[in-house]
Amino acid sequence: MAAKQVGDRSSRDSSRAHTPTGEEETIVGFEEELTMIKEQLTGVPKQLDVISIVGMPGIEVDQMSVEKLAQRLYQRLKGRRYFIVMDDIWDRRVWFDLKTCFPNDNNGSRIMFTSRNEDVTLLAKSSRPPLSLRFLTDDESWVLFQQKVFPRETCPPQLTEIGKHIANKCQGVPLVIVVVAGILTNEKKSPDQWEKVGKTLNSQMTADPQIWLNTLALSYNHLPHHLKPCFLYFGLFPEDYQVPVWKLIWLWMAEGFIRETGEKSLEDVAEEYLMELIGRSLVLVSSRRYDGGVKACGIHDLVRDFCIKQAEKECFMQQNFCELPVSYFSQPKDLFIEDSGSTLITPRFGFATQSGCTKSELADLDYLRSLIRLGGVRFPTNLKKLTLTESEAEWNEIATLGKSLPNLEALQLLTFACVGKCWKTSDGDFPQLRFLKLFAVPIEEWQVSSNPFPRLQRLVLVGCPELQGIPSEIGEVPTLQMIEVRDCNTSVANSAHKIKEEQVSMGNNWLQNVESGNLESPKQSV
């Protein structure tokens, strides 16, 4: 129930401090409350119990009928000891609808939920009263403030006094502390500059959300001019939506928000913009790519409310600025490719207003799906990431693709992207490829040359039950760090184990295997 800097939605219920790069550091405060929660989770009674938490904010499933979803949930839980966590329940009716889904088998099961409304928590009728989270103490506020502004060093003595003063004016609200710290992180580290920021803070700051919005306005006003439209743009996405970075960057470019800077590509500049917003604690990292970069991001609910209000105030994209359903963003059917030489990619979302991008400007996008999947597509030679879905390309086309895209670093072949029984790769294919994923493609045999994928770091195989094994030559790749096998047959998992054993025998202990849901193939059974 405190502000989070990064991570998934399930981490919103504690005042964890995070670094701008997304590394969780420590929990600040709430040690006694944590002990109380542990006692309720592990102690008596045997019957089903509810642990409810009420406090300040910052502290779903595929489409199917509510009845079917409730029935499936009940059946999955029946007879099992379970622990359910539900975050931020607003309406009393939600609890009434959900409580029938949880069987009570007197086996020590537990349900924990958080709410901003104490009336909701009282309905749970738990064995103990709802746990009302307090605000941070002055000392705890100072610890969190220091960790956000100086993640790898201590606060200089000349800033300690004014820093404590600013932290105390945040009134123990973690979200406010994080936002204010984000401002100071990007300001000059001088007492005069910090005093200037401190004077603009409301000395009467409380838990009133309107005060928080005023604090966010302070952070917004400190943004450089070029970052303001990029930040407000997040208000277009639905609440709790995790925005794919490739799509966000493409939309920013299509709207004309990204400025050309020297010889940098627009994608590189846009990524710098995003990282600066993350560093200011305004944007949260949801997930990361294979290389550690940001794969998806989002914003806190309170920050989203501010974006919408500020956009209305500034008449920012007023004609189109409204919440769109999640389904609108789910399938990237919004790119098409023409053969004309210059401007060719046109936004299909309905709220992009300015010119498109050139082929060279799309070199770093994760996805290039076309409406015409594969022999007729001329991909830019400097393309780095490519995902194909339902293109039904022949495997020899993929081999040709490997030679024509010498800079490709990540390749995902998903859901009938390719058809055919055998994939043959040879020397020279995919010389820069670092990440390879096959998901639900009908392949039986995979043949490689003596020197395949010389820079491959991670191999992911999911839902390929007909594949009979991983070529042993893959184990000879010196950069290989992980093989992930899920929902394939056991022969694939066994071949991954064999590769790892061979690596260990040669003194290479860094290769990791990840596997789950692998079954014996029909051919093996016969």
pLDDT digits (tens, 9 = 90+) for 399-419: 888 888 888 999 999 998 988
**Which uninterrupted H or E stretch holds 33?**
helix 31-42
Question: What is the reported pLDDT for 337?
Answer: 30
Give all domains of the chain, ordered by start, each with its CATH number: 30-123 (no CATH), 138-222 (no CATH), 232-323 (1.10.10), 380-516 (no CATH)
Among the listed ranges 214-218, 314-318, 320-324, 394-398, which one has the minimum average pLDDT value?
Answer: 320-324
DSSP β-ladder status, 24-27 and 16-18:
antiparallel
Contacts of residue 349, defined as CB under 8 A and 6 or more positions apart, other chains included, come to 251, 328, 334
Determine the Cα–Cα distance for residues 210 and 57; give it in Å rounded to an integer: 13
pLDDT range class, residue 26, cuts 50, 70, 90? low
Total residues found in the chain within this entry: 526
CA distances 202 to 29, 215, 337, 454, 512, Å, are 24, 8, 52, 58, 52
Print the SS3 string covering 326-367. CHHHHCCCCCCCCCCCCCCECCCCCCCCCCCECCHHHCCCCC
pLDDT range class, residue 481, cuts 50, 70, 90? confident
pLDDT digits (tens, 9 = 90+) for 10-19: 333 334 444 4
Q: Are 343 and 355 in contact (CB under 8 A)?
A: yes
DSSP-assigned beta bridge partners for residue 483: 459, 513
The pLDDT mean for the chain works out to 75
DSSP-assigned beta bridge partners for residue 385: 410
- Averaged pLDDT, 322-350: 36
Question: What is the reported pLDDT for 376?
Answer: 64
Q: Are 168 and 138 in contact (CB under 8 A)?
A: yes
Q: Is the pLDDT of residue 390 over 50?
A: yes
Determine the Cα–Cα distance for residues 416 and 205; give it in Å rounded to an integer: 56
454: cis peptide before it, omega within 30°? Answer: no
Q: What is the pTM of this model?
A: 0.49
Question: What is the reported pLDDT for 332?
Answer: 37
Q: Is the pLDDT of residue 20 over 90?
A: no
Determine the Cα–Cα distance for residues 372 and 369; give it in Å rounded to an integer: 9
- Cβ neighbours, 10 Å, residue 371: 9
pLDDT range class, residue 439, cuts 50, 70, 90? very high
pLDDT range class, residue 85, cuts 50, 70, 90? confident
Q: Is the pLDDT of residue 229 over 60?
A: yes
pLDDT range class, residue 326, cuts 50, 70, 90? very low
3-state DSSP assignment of residue 169: helix
pLDDT digits (tens, 9 = 90+) for 160-214: 999 999 888 877 778 778 878 888 887 888 898 888 877 776 544 444 566 667 7
Q: Is the pLDDT of residue 483 over 60?
A: yes
* Selection from 452, 460, 458 nearest residue 423 by Cα: 452
- Averaged pLDDT, 262-291: 86
Which tokens sit at 445?
A: 């045999």
- Averaged pLDDT, 108-123: 77
Q: Are 175 and 57 in contact (CB under 8 A)?
A: yes
Question: What is the reported pLDDT for 175?
Answer: 76
Q: Is the pLDDT of residue 57 over 60?
A: no
Question: What is the reported pLDDT for 335?
Answer: 32
Among the listed ranges 209-213, 264-268, 305-309, 502-506, which one has the minimum average pLDDT value?
Answer: 209-213
Question: What is the reported pLDDT for 348?
Answer: 29
3-state DSSP assignment of residue 392: coil
Question: What is the reported pLDDT for 254?
Answer: 83
Q: Is the pLDDT of residue 384 over 60?
A: yes
Q: Is the pLDDT of residue 248 over 90?
A: yes
Report H helices in 84-227. 92-98, 118-122, 138-149, 157-169, 174-185, 191-200, 209-221
Determine the Cα–Cα distance for residues 225 and 144; give it in Å rounded to an integer: 28
Question: What is the reported pLDDT for 210?
Answer: 67
Please identify which residue in the block is written with the tokens 């990204």.
Answer: 258
Q: Is the pLDDT of residue 336 over 70?
A: no
Determine the Cα–Cα distance for residues 513 and 500; give it in Å rounded to an integer: 8
Give the alpha-carbon dihedral of 104, 106, 109, 113, to 10 degrees.
50
